[in-house]
Amino acid sequence: MQIIQHYPLKRLNTFGLNAFAERFCEVKSVEELAAAALPPPGSLHILGGGSNILLTADLPGLVIKNNIGGINIFEEDDDSAIVAAGGGVGWHELVLWSLHKNLGGLENLSLIPGSVGAAPIQNIGAYGVELKDVFHQLDAFELATGNMVSFDAQSCRFGYRDSVFKNECSGKYCITKVFLKLSKHHQLRLEYGDIRRTLEEMNIADPTIQDVSKAVIHIRQSKLPDPEAIGNAGSFFKNPEIMEGQLLDLQKKFPGMVHYPTPTGTWKIPAGWLIEQAGWKGKRFGDAGCHTRQALVLVNYGNARGAEILDLARRIQESVVAMFGIHLSPEVNIWGTEGVKMP
């Protein structure tokens, strides 16, 4: 393990933003992580796949890239298997591994960029499934003490794109291993409209988990920009939830407002719809833009700076508040100059 000074992070964040780490190293085991992180070096960032961060400036202190690998079946019975994967494994690599072993549960989460260790932090989700639906346990390295700690589902306090690791435990742990409970008796989740339609278009009447994965990959590739081609970090904002009274008021002015019920009686409004109505879809300012096919995705067409993307995000936030009275919270983590925060 080697610590490198002034390391370029451009290839390590899917926005493709140009920023440097003051010091940088990659770790492949808990032992290497302990050697790099102890004693705590002051400013420390743990980097996974870099697919959910906006770098607004060079990062002071140490950046550790979690490359802890390995996937194996930890235990199994006739119905299910507990699969253990290192925090540095690519998320989609784990999905492909599970499909190869014919273990169900991850097929709707195909092709999500990022690493296994980052997946619990924001409880990744897509097409009607969230990580919490298959989550069993995780192991984490406590950065202040070097102790290994296990978290079960309850102690992770998963919410919509949220967990304890985005709140009280933010910046305090490096997730080294994740255990998922996958099923041998497949229960397909096809309720998300686009999946059924895509399977029909593929002429598949009796789909397998592998077919569902193919459908999800097809939908994602048709809607979401490939970070290899156009820098982005997926959805920039979370979909906001509003109370029924506010929905009824807004529907008087905006009868076409897309809305979905939530289990708690509130209504979820797609942020992409709000941003499109506010006129931002496809807009471009220099190399910072709002994607042409999915307004919720902000993009770097080449040489945008993180600060320009952040400025665009703030302007979108302000105009959505002005038009609908709805505040959009970022889903992406903003790293950079101290004090750069986005409510």
Beta-bridged to residue 175, according to DSSP, are 140
- Find the part of the chain contacting ligand EPU (CB under 6 A) among 77-85, 198-206, 234-242, 313-321: 234-242
Indicate the residue among 45 and 291 with the shorter CB distance to ligand EPU.
Answer: 291
**Cis amide bond preceding 39, omega within 30:** yes
Residue from 238, 298, 308, 317 binding ligand EPU (CB under 6 A): 238
Task: Name which position in 239, 240, 250, 316 contacts ligand EPU (CB under 6 A).
Answer: 239
- Of 301, 308, 300, 242, give the one whose Cα is nearest residue 273: 242
Q: Name which of 176 and 294 has its Cβ closer to ligand EPU.
A: 294
Given candidates 13, 235, 300, 317, which one binds ligand EPU under the rule CB under 6 A? 235
Written in H, E and C, the secondary structure of 245-269 is HHHHHHHHHCCCCCCEECCCCCEEC
Residues 6+ apart with CB under 8 A from 164: 151, 155, 156, 157
* Stretch of 11-19, 24-32, 230-238, 317-325 contacting ligand EPU, by CB under 6 A: 230-238
Rounded Cα gap, residues 28 and 11, in angstroms: 19
- Known active-site residue 80: no
Number of residues written out for the chain:
343
**CB nearer to ligand EPU: pick between 23 and 238:** 238
Task: Check residue 335 for interaction with ligand EPU (CB under 6 A).
Answer: no
Cα within 13 Å of Cα(284), Cβ side: 12
Q: Can 235 be counted among the known catalytic residues?
A: yes
- Tell how strand 173-183 and strand 80-86 pair up: antiparallel
Smallest gap from residue 245 Cβ to ligand EPU (A) = 22
Cβ-based nearer residue to ligand EPU, 123 or 176 = 123
> What whole-number distance in Å separates Cα of residue 254 and Cα of residue 324?
9
Q: Are 86 and 48 in contact (CB under 8 A)?
A: no
Distance CA 281, CA 271 (A): 12
150 belongs to the catalytic site: no
Which residue in 201, 221, 258, 318 binds ligand EPU (CB under 6 A)? 258
Which among 163, 235, 305, 308 is annotated as catalytic?
A: 235
Which two structure tokens, joined as six digits, stand for 51? Answer: 């697919």
Q: How many residues bind ligand EPU (CB under 6 A)?
A: 17
Q: How crowded is residue 229: how many other Cβ atoms within 10 Å of its Cβ?
A: 8
Instruction: Report how far residue 296's alpha carbon sits from residue 308's, in angstroms, rounded to the nearest whole number.
Output: 16
User: Which CB atom, from 53 or from 62, has the smaller least distance to ligand EPU?
Assistant: 53
Minimum distance from residue 72 beta carbon to ligand EPU (Å): 28
Query: Which parts of 14-43 interact with ligand EPU (CB under 6 A)?
Result: none
Q: Return phi, psi of residue 40, to 5°.
A: -50, 125
Give residues 262-301 in contact with ligand EPU (rule: CB under 6 A): 270, 272-273, 276, 281, 294-296
Q: Cα 169 to chain center, whole Å? A: 17
The residue (of 176 and 198) whose beta carbon lies closer to ligand EPU is 198
Nearer to ligand EPU, 56 or 235 (CB): 235
CA distances from 128 to 39, 133, 134, 169, 259 (A): 42, 10, 13, 27, 15
Positions touching ligand EPU (CB under 6 A) are: 126-127, 223, 234-235, 238-239, 258, 270, 272-273, 276, 281, 294-296, 331
Q: Catalytic residue positions? A: 161, 235, 331
